[in-house]
Protein backbone atom coordinates (compact mmCIF):
# COMPACT_ATOMS: atom_id res chain seq x y z
CA UNK A 1 0.00 0.00 0.00
CA UNK A 2 2.83 2.36 0.87
CA UNK A 3 4.71 3.47 -2.22
CA UNK A 4 7.66 5.85 -2.49
CA UNK A 5 7.55 8.70 -4.93
CA UNK A 6 10.78 10.39 -6.09
CA UNK A 7 10.56 13.82 -7.66
CA UNK A 8 13.74 14.63 -9.53
CA UNK A 9 14.02 18.39 -9.70
CA UNK A 10 16.02 19.30 -12.76
CA UNK A 11 17.92 22.46 -12.18
CA UNK A 12 19.45 24.56 -14.94
CA UNK A 13 21.83 26.54 -12.78
CA UNK A 14 23.58 29.05 -15.00
CA UNK A 15 26.28 31.52 -14.11
CA UNK A 16 27.80 33.91 -16.62
CA UNK A 17 30.68 36.12 -15.41
CA UNK A 18 29.92 38.75 -17.98
CA UNK A 19 26.18 39.07 -17.52
CA UNK A 20 25.95 37.54 -14.04
CA UNK A 21 22.34 36.28 -14.38
CA UNK A 22 20.60 34.69 -11.40
CA UNK A 23 20.42 30.88 -11.41
CA UNK A 24 17.40 29.35 -13.09
CA UNK A 25 15.47 26.55 -11.39
CA UNK A 26 13.34 24.17 -13.38
CA UNK A 27 11.50 21.01 -12.29
CA UNK A 28 8.10 19.47 -11.42
CA UNK A 29 6.19 21.76 -9.07
CA UNK A 30 3.16 19.64 -8.15
CA UNK A 31 2.59 16.04 -7.09
CA UNK A 32 -0.17 13.88 -5.65
CA UNK A 33 0.37 11.15 -3.07
CA UNK A 34 -1.91 9.11 -0.88
CA UNK A 35 -1.72 9.60 2.85
CA UNK A 36 0.56 7.04 4.41
CA UNK A 37 2.92 7.09 1.42
CA UNK A 38 6.39 8.66 1.18
CA UNK A 39 7.42 11.42 -1.21
CA UNK A 40 11.07 12.47 -1.80
CA UNK A 41 12.61 15.53 -3.50
CA UNK A 42 16.23 16.00 -4.61
CA UNK A 43 18.32 19.10 -5.41
CA UNK A 44 21.98 19.72 -6.28
CA UNK A 45 24.86 22.16 -5.70
CA UNK A 46 26.53 22.61 -9.05
CA UNK A 47 30.02 24.00 -9.69
CA UNK A 48 30.35 26.53 -12.44
CA UNK A 49 32.33 25.11 -15.37
CA UNK A 50 33.86 28.41 -16.48
CA UNK A 51 34.84 30.05 -13.19
CA UNK A 52 35.22 29.42 -9.51
CA UNK A 53 31.70 30.69 -8.87
CA UNK A 54 29.27 28.21 -7.36
CA UNK A 55 25.52 28.02 -7.00
CA UNK A 56 23.82 26.88 -3.83
CA UNK A 57 20.30 25.48 -3.42
CA UNK A 58 18.26 25.77 -0.24
CA UNK A 59 14.99 24.14 0.75
CA UNK A 60 12.25 25.57 2.85
CA UNK A 61 12.51 23.06 5.68
CA UNK A 62 9.04 23.70 7.04
CA UNK A 63 7.80 20.15 6.38
CA UNK A 64 6.76 18.31 9.53
CA UNK A 65 8.67 15.07 10.13
CA UNK A 66 10.74 15.54 6.96
CA UNK A 67 14.24 14.06 6.74
CA UNK A 68 16.95 16.22 5.17
CA UNK A 69 20.26 14.77 3.95
CA UNK A 70 23.15 15.46 1.57
CA UNK A 71 26.06 13.54 0.03
CA UNK A 72 28.93 14.18 -2.40
CA UNK A 73 28.61 12.71 -5.88
CA UNK A 74 31.80 13.60 -7.75
CA UNK A 75 32.03 17.42 -7.87
CA UNK A 76 28.35 17.68 -7.06
CA UNK A 77 26.76 17.94 -3.65
CA UNK A 78 23.42 16.13 -3.79
CA UNK A 79 20.64 17.10 -1.41
CA UNK A 80 17.41 15.26 -0.71
CA UNK A 81 14.30 15.76 1.35
CA UNK A 82 11.89 12.87 2.10
CA UNK A 83 8.50 13.16 3.72
CA UNK A 84 6.58 10.20 5.15
CA UNK A 85 2.97 11.27 5.11
CA UNK A 86 0.31 10.02 7.50
CA UNK A 87 -3.47 9.99 7.74
CA UNK A 88 -3.27 13.37 9.54
CA UNK A 89 -1.49 14.95 6.58
CA UNK A 90 -4.44 14.28 4.28
CA UNK A 91 -6.01 17.55 3.16
CA UNK A 92 -8.47 18.85 0.65
CA UNK A 93 -5.97 21.62 -0.22
CA UNK A 94 -2.31 21.33 -1.32
CA UNK A 95 0.77 21.64 0.90
CA UNK A 96 3.13 24.34 -0.51
CA UNK A 97 6.93 24.38 -0.25
CA UNK A 98 9.69 26.46 -1.86
CA UNK A 99 13.27 26.06 -3.13
CA UNK A 100 15.78 28.91 -3.68
CA UNK A 101 19.03 28.87 -5.70
CA UNK A 102 21.74 31.48 -4.79
CA UNK A 103 24.85 32.72 -6.61
CA UNK A 104 27.70 32.43 -4.13
CA UNK A 105 29.52 35.47 -5.56
CA UNK A 106 26.42 37.64 -5.54
CA UNK A 107 23.73 36.47 -3.14
CA UNK A 108 21.39 39.05 -4.52
CA UNK A 109 21.19 36.88 -7.58
CA UNK A 110 18.72 34.12 -6.67
CA UNK A 111 15.73 32.25 -8.02
CA UNK A 112 12.85 30.88 -5.92
CA UNK A 113 10.28 28.39 -7.08
CA UNK A 114 7.23 27.09 -5.20
CA UNK A 115 5.78 23.62 -5.58
CA UNK A 116 2.86 21.76 -4.04
CA UNK A 117 2.08 18.29 -2.76
CA UNK A 118 -1.51 17.11 -2.53
CA UNK A 119 -1.89 14.41 0.11
CA UNK A 120 -5.13 12.78 -0.90
CA UNK A 121 -7.17 11.14 1.83
CA UNK A 122 -7.39 7.34 1.89
CA UNK A 123 -10.60 5.74 3.02
CA UNK A 124 -10.24 4.42 6.55
CA UNK A 125 -11.62 0.94 5.95
CA UNK A 126 -11.77 -1.02 9.21
CA UNK A 127 -13.61 -4.18 8.11
CA UNK A 128 -16.98 -5.54 7.06
CA UNK A 129 -20.28 -5.85 8.85
CA UNK A 130 -22.18 -9.05 7.95
CA UNK A 131 -25.86 -9.62 8.63
CA UNK A 132 -27.02 -13.20 8.02
CA UNK A 133 -30.45 -13.84 6.55
CA UNK A 134 -32.12 -17.10 5.59
CA UNK A 135 -31.05 -19.65 3.00
CA UNK A 136 -27.47 -18.40 2.65
CA UNK A 137 -28.32 -14.70 2.26
CA UNK A 138 -25.78 -12.24 3.74
CA UNK A 139 -25.93 -8.43 3.77
CA UNK A 140 -22.43 -6.88 3.73
CA UNK A 141 -21.52 -3.28 4.66
CA UNK A 142 -18.14 -1.58 5.15
CA UNK A 143 -17.06 -0.47 8.62
CA UNK A 144 -15.35 2.93 8.35
CA UNK A 145 -13.17 5.05 10.64
CA UNK A 146 -12.82 8.82 10.55
CA UNK A 147 -11.07 10.25 7.50
CA UNK A 148 -10.94 13.55 5.62
CA UNK A 149 -13.72 13.98 3.10
CA UNK A 150 -13.43 16.51 0.31
CA UNK A 151 -16.48 17.75 -1.56
CA UNK A 152 -14.63 17.69 -4.86
CA UNK A 153 -14.14 13.93 -4.59
CA UNK A 154 -17.78 13.01 -4.05
CA UNK A 155 -18.65 9.61 -2.60
CA UNK A 156 -16.23 6.79 -1.92
CA UNK A 157 -16.12 3.77 -4.22
CA UNK A 158 -16.45 0.18 -2.91
CA UNK A 159 -15.96 -3.20 -4.57
CA UNK A 160 -16.66 -6.63 -3.04
CA UNK A 161 -15.02 -9.82 -4.33
CA UNK A 162 -16.81 -13.03 -3.27
CA UNK A 163 -14.70 -16.17 -2.87
CA UNK A 164 -11.47 -14.25 -3.54
CA UNK A 165 -9.54 -14.64 -5.84
CA UNK A 166 -12.54 -15.37 -8.05
CA UNK A 167 -13.96 -12.88 -10.54
CA UNK A 168 -17.30 -12.51 -8.72
CA UNK A 169 -17.00 -8.75 -8.16
CA UNK A 170 -19.73 -6.27 -7.21
CA UNK A 171 -19.40 -2.48 -7.00
CA UNK A 172 -21.64 -1.29 -4.17
CA UNK A 173 -21.37 0.14 -0.68
CA UNK A 174 -23.94 -2.31 0.65
CA UNK A 175 -24.17 -5.74 -0.96
CA UNK A 176 -26.80 -8.42 -0.44
CA UNK A 177 -25.53 -11.78 -1.68
CA UNK A 178 -26.91 -15.33 -1.51
CA UNK A 179 -24.34 -18.10 -1.10
CA UNK A 180 -25.17 -21.47 -2.65
CA UNK A 181 -22.41 -23.57 -1.09
CA UNK A 182 -21.80 -24.08 2.63
CA UNK A 183 -18.50 -23.53 4.42
CA UNK A 184 -16.04 -20.67 4.76
CA UNK A 185 -15.84 -18.04 2.03
CA UNK A 186 -13.07 -15.42 1.59
CA UNK A 187 -14.27 -11.85 1.07
CA UNK A 188 -12.13 -9.00 -0.30
CA UNK A 189 -13.40 -5.43 0.16
CA UNK A 190 -11.76 -2.52 -1.66
CA UNK A 191 -12.43 1.14 -0.98
CA UNK A 192 -11.26 4.15 -2.99
CA UNK A 193 -11.47 7.85 -2.24
CA UNK A 194 -9.84 10.86 -3.84
CA UNK A 195 -9.46 9.42 -7.30
CA UNK A 196 -6.31 7.34 -6.85
CA UNK A 197 -6.02 6.18 -3.26
CA UNK A 198 -7.39 2.72 -2.52
CA UNK A 199 -7.46 0.49 0.53
CA UNK A 200 -8.44 -3.15 0.84
CA UNK A 201 -9.13 -5.70 3.55
CA UNK A 202 -9.80 -9.45 3.62
CA UNK A 203 -12.40 -11.24 5.69
CA UNK A 204 -14.23 -14.56 5.90
CA UNK A 205 -17.87 -15.56 6.33
CA UNK A 206 -19.09 -18.97 7.48
CA UNK A 207 -22.18 -20.17 5.64
CA UNK A 208 -24.52 -22.89 6.93
CA UNK A 209 -27.00 -24.14 4.34
CA UNK A 210 -29.71 -26.78 4.21
CA UNK A 211 -27.61 -29.53 2.68
CA UNK A 212 -28.46 -33.23 2.24
CA UNK A 213 -25.60 -35.70 1.95
CA UNK A 214 -26.28 -39.03 0.20
CA UNK A 215 -22.71 -40.23 0.61
CA UNK A 216 -20.35 -41.36 -2.10
CA UNK A 217 -21.16 -43.07 -5.38
CA UNK A 218 -21.48 -46.81 -4.84
CA UNK A 219 -22.34 -50.07 -6.58
CA UNK A 220 -24.82 -52.93 -6.42
CA UNK A 221 -24.86 -56.44 -7.83
CA UNK A 222 -27.93 -58.02 -9.37
CA UNK A 223 -30.17 -59.19 -6.57
CA UNK A 224 -28.71 -56.82 -3.98
CA UNK A 225 -30.54 -53.85 -2.45
CA UNK A 226 -29.49 -50.58 -0.80
CA UNK A 227 -31.46 -48.38 1.59
CA UNK A 228 -30.27 -44.76 1.25
CA UNK A 229 -30.78 -42.54 4.30
CA UNK A 230 -29.27 -39.05 3.87
CA UNK A 231 -27.54 -36.90 6.47
CA UNK A 232 -29.12 -33.44 6.66
CA UNK A 233 -27.18 -30.33 7.76
CA UNK A 234 -28.46 -26.82 8.47
CA UNK A 235 -32.10 -27.78 8.99
CA UNK A 236 -34.73 -25.43 10.36
CA UNK A 237 -38.00 -27.09 11.35
CA UNK A 238 -39.60 -29.85 9.31
CA UNK A 239 -37.74 -31.26 6.32
CA UNK A 240 -39.52 -32.52 3.19
CA UNK A 241 -37.88 -35.10 0.94
CA UNK A 242 -38.38 -35.23 -2.84
CA UNK A 243 -36.67 -38.20 -4.51
CA UNK A 244 -35.72 -38.40 -8.19
CA UNK A 245 -37.61 -35.32 -9.31
CA UNK A 246 -40.89 -36.17 -7.60
CA UNK A 247 -43.15 -33.27 -6.68
CA UNK A 248 -44.69 -35.26 -3.83
CA UNK A 249 -42.84 -35.39 -0.53
CA UNK A 250 -41.68 -38.87 0.39
CA UNK A 251 -39.95 -40.75 3.18
CA UNK A 252 -36.60 -39.84 4.67
CA UNK A 253 -35.02 -42.92 3.05
CA UNK A 254 -35.02 -44.52 -0.38
CA UNK A 255 -34.76 -48.23 -1.25
CA UNK A 256 -32.78 -49.19 -4.34
CA UNK A 257 -33.25 -52.75 -5.61
CA UNK A 258 -33.58 -54.90 -8.75
CA UNK A 259 -31.09 -52.82 -10.73
CA UNK A 260 -30.43 -53.78 -14.34
CA UNK A 261 -28.24 -50.77 -15.27
CA UNK A 262 -26.32 -47.88 -13.72
CA UNK A 263 -28.72 -45.58 -11.85
CA UNK A 264 -28.60 -41.99 -10.58
CA UNK A 265 -30.46 -41.23 -7.35
CA UNK A 266 -31.24 -37.55 -6.63
CA UNK A 267 -32.75 -35.84 -3.61
CA UNK A 268 -34.14 -32.35 -3.06
CA UNK A 269 -35.08 -31.20 0.44
CA UNK A 270 -36.94 -28.16 1.77
CA UNK A 271 -37.38 -26.83 5.30
CA UNK A 272 -39.90 -24.63 7.09
CA UNK A 273 -38.12 -21.44 5.95
CA UNK A 274 -38.49 -22.42 2.30
CA UNK A 275 -34.77 -23.12 1.91
CA UNK A 276 -33.77 -25.90 -0.45
CA UNK A 277 -30.81 -28.23 -0.84
CA UNK A 278 -29.98 -31.13 -3.13
CA UNK A 279 -27.55 -33.97 -3.68
CA UNK A 280 -27.24 -37.01 -5.93
CA UNK A 281 -25.20 -40.19 -6.24
CA UNK A 282 -24.57 -42.71 -9.00
CA UNK A 283 -25.03 -46.42 -8.30
CA UNK A 284 -23.15 -48.64 -10.74
CA UNK A 285 -24.72 -52.00 -11.58
CA UNK A 286 -22.80 -55.25 -11.89
CA UNK A 287 -24.07 -58.67 -12.82
CA UNK A 288 -24.14 -61.20 -10.01
CA UNK A 289 -21.05 -63.36 -9.78
CA UNK A 290 -21.28 -67.13 -10.34
CA UNK A 291 -18.64 -69.25 -8.58
CA UNK A 292 -19.71 -72.58 -10.04
CA UNK A 293 -16.82 -74.86 -10.93
CA UNK A 294 -15.96 -78.45 -11.69
CA UNK A 295 -12.91 -80.56 -11.09
CA UNK A 296 -11.30 -83.22 -13.24
CA UNK A 297 -8.88 -85.92 -12.18
CA UNK A 298 -5.94 -85.60 -14.58
CA UNK A 299 -3.68 -88.28 -13.06
CA UNK A 300 -4.18 -90.40 -9.95
CA UNK A 301 -4.98 -88.07 -7.03
CA UNK A 302 -4.13 -84.95 -9.14
CA UNK A 303 -7.05 -82.69 -9.98
CA UNK A 304 -7.73 -79.71 -12.24
CA UNK A 305 -10.13 -77.04 -10.94
CA UNK A 306 -11.92 -75.10 -13.64
CA UNK A 307 -14.44 -72.21 -13.12
CA UNK A 308 -17.66 -72.09 -15.06
CA UNK A 309 -17.03 -68.50 -16.21
CA UNK A 310 -13.69 -67.09 -17.32
CA UNK A 311 -14.35 -63.31 -17.37
CA UNK A 312 -13.90 -62.35 -13.71
CA UNK A 313 -10.98 -60.18 -12.59
CA UNK A 314 -10.35 -62.17 -9.40
CA UNK A 315 -10.36 -65.88 -8.51
CA UNK A 316 -9.49 -67.41 -5.15
CA UNK A 317 -9.34 -71.17 -4.76
CA UNK A 318 -9.32 -72.70 -1.28
CA UNK A 319 -8.59 -76.43 -1.54
CA UNK A 320 -9.82 -77.19 1.96
CA UNK A 321 -6.49 -78.52 3.16
CA UNK A 322 -4.74 -75.23 3.97
CA UNK A 323 -3.60 -74.50 0.41
CA UNK A 324 -4.91 -71.76 -1.92
CA UNK A 325 -4.41 -70.56 -5.49
CA UNK A 326 -5.33 -67.36 -7.38
CA UNK A 327 -5.02 -68.66 -10.94
CA UNK A 328 -8.19 -68.97 -12.97
CA UNK A 329 -7.49 -72.69 -13.60
CA UNK A 330 -5.81 -74.42 -10.67
CA UNK A 331 -4.20 -77.81 -10.10
CA UNK A 332 -3.91 -79.64 -6.79
CA UNK A 333 -2.93 -83.04 -5.38
CA UNK A 334 -4.92 -84.57 -2.52
CA UNK A 335 -4.06 -87.38 -0.12
CA UNK A 336 -6.77 -89.77 1.00
CA UNK A 337 -9.58 -87.95 2.81
CA UNK A 338 -12.71 -85.81 2.57
CA UNK A 339 -12.31 -82.13 1.61
CA UNK A 340 -14.46 -79.06 1.02
CA UNK A 341 -12.76 -77.02 -1.71
CA UNK A 342 -14.26 -73.60 -2.52
CA UNK A 343 -14.00 -70.89 -5.15
CA UNK A 344 -14.56 -67.15 -4.60
CA UNK A 345 -14.95 -64.95 -7.68
CA UNK A 346 -15.12 -61.15 -7.54
CA UNK A 347 -16.78 -59.00 -10.19
CA UNK A 348 -16.14 -55.62 -8.54
CA UNK A 349 -16.02 -54.49 -4.93
CA UNK A 350 -18.97 -56.03 -3.11
CA UNK A 351 -20.07 -58.12 -6.08
CA UNK A 352 -18.70 -61.61 -5.46
CA UNK A 353 -19.85 -65.19 -5.07
CA UNK A 354 -18.43 -68.17 -3.19
CA UNK A 355 -19.20 -71.85 -3.80
CA UNK A 356 -18.03 -74.75 -1.63
CA UNK A 357 -18.23 -78.34 -2.76
CA UNK A 358 -17.81 -81.62 -0.89
CA UNK A 359 -15.09 -83.78 -2.36
CA UNK A 360 -13.69 -87.21 -1.45
CA UNK A 361 -10.19 -88.21 -2.52
CA UNK A 362 -9.39 -91.92 -2.47
CA UNK A 363 -6.24 -93.85 -3.34
CA UNK A 364 -6.17 -95.10 -6.89
CA UNK A 365 -3.94 -98.03 -7.80
CA UNK A 366 -3.78 -99.42 -4.25
CA UNK A 367 -4.55 -103.13 -4.05
CA UNK A 368 -7.99 -103.61 -2.55
CA UNK A 369 -9.65 -106.77 -1.40
CA UNK A 370 -13.13 -107.50 -2.74
CA UNK A 371 -14.72 -106.47 0.54
CA UNK A 372 -13.25 -103.00 0.13
CA UNK A 373 -14.29 -102.26 -3.44
CA UNK A 374 -17.39 -100.69 -5.02
CA UNK A 375 -18.48 -100.48 -8.63
CA UNK A 376 -21.47 -99.49 -10.74
CA UNK A 377 -23.08 -101.96 -13.05
CA UNK A 378 -23.99 -101.41 -15.76
CA UNK A 379 -22.20 -98.17 -16.48
CA UNK A 380 -23.39 -96.37 -18.57
CA UNK A 381 -26.99 -97.29 -17.77
CA UNK A 382 -30.43 -96.05 -18.75
CA UNK A 383 -32.34 -96.71 -15.57
CA UNK A 384 -31.60 -97.32 -11.93
CA UNK A 385 -28.19 -96.86 -10.34
CA UNK A 386 -26.95 -100.25 -9.10
CA UNK A 387 -23.98 -100.49 -6.74
CA UNK A 388 -21.91 -103.66 -6.64
CA UNK A 389 -19.75 -104.41 -3.60
CA UNK A 390 -17.70 -107.08 -1.94
CA UNK A 391 -19.00 -106.59 1.58
CA UNK A 392 -20.35 -109.57 3.51
CA UNK A 393 -22.70 -107.32 5.48
CA UNK A 394 -23.05 -103.85 6.87
CA UNK A 395 -24.47 -100.51 5.89
CA UNK A 396 -23.49 -98.16 3.09
CA UNK A 397 -23.90 -94.38 2.86
CA UNK A 398 -24.55 -93.11 -0.66
CA UNK A 399 -24.99 -89.62 -2.11
CA UNK A 400 -25.14 -88.41 -5.74
CA UNK A 401 -23.96 -85.00 -7.02
CA UNK A 402 -23.53 -83.57 -10.51
CA UNK A 403 -20.24 -82.31 -11.91
CA UNK A 404 -20.95 -78.81 -10.60
CA UNK A 405 -21.20 -80.12 -7.05
CA UNK A 406 -24.97 -79.78 -6.80
CA UNK A 407 -26.59 -82.50 -4.69
CA UNK A 408 -28.95 -84.57 -6.85
CA UNK A 409 -29.71 -87.32 -4.31
CA UNK A 410 -29.09 -86.59 -0.64
CA UNK A 411 -27.19 -88.97 1.61
CA UNK A 412 -29.07 -92.23 2.19
CA UNK A 413 -28.14 -95.25 4.27
CA UNK A 414 -28.62 -98.67 2.66
CA UNK A 415 -28.27 -102.11 4.24
CA UNK A 416 -25.97 -104.38 2.25
CA UNK A 417 -26.26 -108.09 1.59
CA UNK A 418 -23.35 -110.34 0.65
CA UNK A 419 -22.67 -110.43 -3.11
CA UNK A 420 -25.90 -108.58 -3.92
CA UNK A 421 -26.32 -105.36 -5.86
CA UNK A 422 -27.79 -102.33 -4.13
CA UNK A 423 -30.37 -100.12 -5.82
CA UNK A 424 -30.00 -96.40 -5.05
CA UNK A 425 -33.47 -94.97 -4.46
CA UNK A 426 -34.46 -92.03 -6.69
CA UNK A 427 -31.77 -92.64 -9.29
CA UNK A 428 -34.31 -93.72 -11.90
CA UNK A 429 -35.85 -90.22 -11.87
CA UNK A 430 -32.59 -88.41 -12.56
CA UNK A 431 -32.16 -86.89 -16.03
CA UNK A 432 -29.48 -88.05 -18.41
CA UNK A 433 -26.01 -86.83 -17.53
CA UNK A 434 -22.75 -87.55 -15.75
CA UNK A 435 -22.84 -87.92 -11.95
CA UNK A 436 -20.45 -88.54 -9.09
CA UNK A 437 -21.54 -91.23 -6.65
CA UNK A 438 -20.00 -90.97 -3.18
CA UNK A 439 -19.98 -94.27 -1.26
CA UNK A 440 -18.64 -94.96 2.23
CA UNK A 441 -18.68 -98.13 4.31
CA UNK A 442 -16.53 -99.49 7.14
CA UNK A 443 -14.30 -96.39 6.99
CA UNK A 444 -13.67 -96.72 3.27
CA UNK A 445 -14.71 -93.72 1.11
CA UNK A 446 -14.88 -93.93 -2.66
CA UNK A 447 -16.17 -91.65 -5.44
CA UNK A 448 -17.44 -93.29 -8.64
CA UNK A 449 -18.41 -91.77 -11.97
CA UNK A 450 -21.86 -92.80 -13.28
CA UNK A 451 -23.11 -92.01 -16.78
CA UNK A 452 -26.86 -92.13 -17.24
CA UNK A 453 -28.05 -92.25 -20.80
My answer on whether 20 and 111 are in the same domain is: yes
- Provide the percentage of residues in the chain whose pLDDT is more than 70: 73
Range of the domain at 270: 219-279
152 vs 164, more confident: 164
Range with the lowest mean pLDDT among 34-48, 231-245, 259-273, 307-321? 34-48
How many independent structural domains does the chain possess?
A: 5
Average pLDDT, integer, range 437-446? 74
Q: Does 95 share its domain with 32?
A: yes
- Classify residue 287: in a domain, yes or no: no
| Mean of pLDDT values over 339-349 | 85
Lowest mean pLDDT among 1-15, 169-183, 372-386, 409-423: 1-15
pTM listed for this prediction? 0.53
Residue 285 lies in a domain: no
> Rounded mean pLDDT of 51-73?
56
Among 249, 279, 309, the domain boundary falls at 279
Q: For residue 154, what is the domain's CATH number?
A: 2.60.40.10
Q: 109 with 11, same domain?
A: yes
Is residue 323 domain-shared with residue 378, that is, in the same domain?
no
**Residue 411's domain is classified under what CATH number?**
2.60.40.380
Residues 113, 27 share a domain: yes
Q: Which has more pLDDT, 413 or 403?
A: 413
**Is there a single domain that holds both residue 47 and residue 105?**
yes
Q: Which of 219-228, 237-246, 404-413 has the highest mean pLDDT?
A: 237-246
**29 and 106 assigned to the same domain:** yes
| Residue 137 included in any domain | yes
Contact between 55 and 100 (Cβ < 8 Å): no
Query: Is residue 440 included in any domain, yes or no?
Result: yes
| pLDDT of amino acid 159 | 92
pLDDT per position as a tens digit, 62-72: 565 666 666 65
Q: Taking 70 as the threshold, does the pLDDT of residue 16 lie above it?
A: no
Mean pLDDT of 144-160: 82
pLDDT, greater one: 163 or 44:
163
What pLDDT band is residue 210 in, cutting at 50, 70 and 90?
Answer: very high
Give the domain-ending residue among 230, 254, 279.
279
Identify whether residues 333 and 374 lie together within a single domain: no
pLDDT at 1: 42
Sorting pLDDT into bands at 50, 70 and 90, what band is 135?
Answer: very high
Among 207, 234, 251, give the residue marking a domain's end. Answer: 207
Q: Are residues 116 and 11 in the same domain?
A: yes
| Any domain includes 284 | no
Average pLDDT in the chain: 78
- Is the pLDDT at 366 greater than 50, yes or no? no
Is the same domain home to 67 and 8?
yes
212 assigned to some structural domain: no
Between strands 254-257 and 225-228, the pairing is antiparallel
Q: Do residues 113 and 169 share a domain?
A: no
Q: In terms of domains, do 106 and 14 share one?
A: yes
pLDDT at 384: 86
Q: Is 325 exposed, middle or buried (0-12, 13-18, 19+ CB in 10 A)?
A: middle
CB 422 within 8 Å of CB 389: yes
- Rounded Cα distance, 99 and 117, in Å: 14
Q: How far apart are CA 124 and CA 98, in angstroms?
A: 31
Summarize the chain as % helix, strand, coil (round to 5). 5, 55, 40
Domain contains 115: yes
Amino acid sequence: MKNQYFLLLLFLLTEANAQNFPPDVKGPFAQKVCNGEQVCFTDMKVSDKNSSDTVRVKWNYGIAKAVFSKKMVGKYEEWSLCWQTSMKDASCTPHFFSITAFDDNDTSLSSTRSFSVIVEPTIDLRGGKYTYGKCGEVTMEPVLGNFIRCSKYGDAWYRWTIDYPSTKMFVAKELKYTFTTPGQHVIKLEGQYGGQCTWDIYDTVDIILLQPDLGRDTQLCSGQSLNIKPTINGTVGKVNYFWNGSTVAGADNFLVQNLTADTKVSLKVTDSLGCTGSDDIVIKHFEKADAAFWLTETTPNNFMFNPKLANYPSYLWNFGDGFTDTNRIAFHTYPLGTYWPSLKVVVNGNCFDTLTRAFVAYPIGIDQTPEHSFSIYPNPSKGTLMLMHGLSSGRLEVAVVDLMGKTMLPLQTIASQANAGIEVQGSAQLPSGVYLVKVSANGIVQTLKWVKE
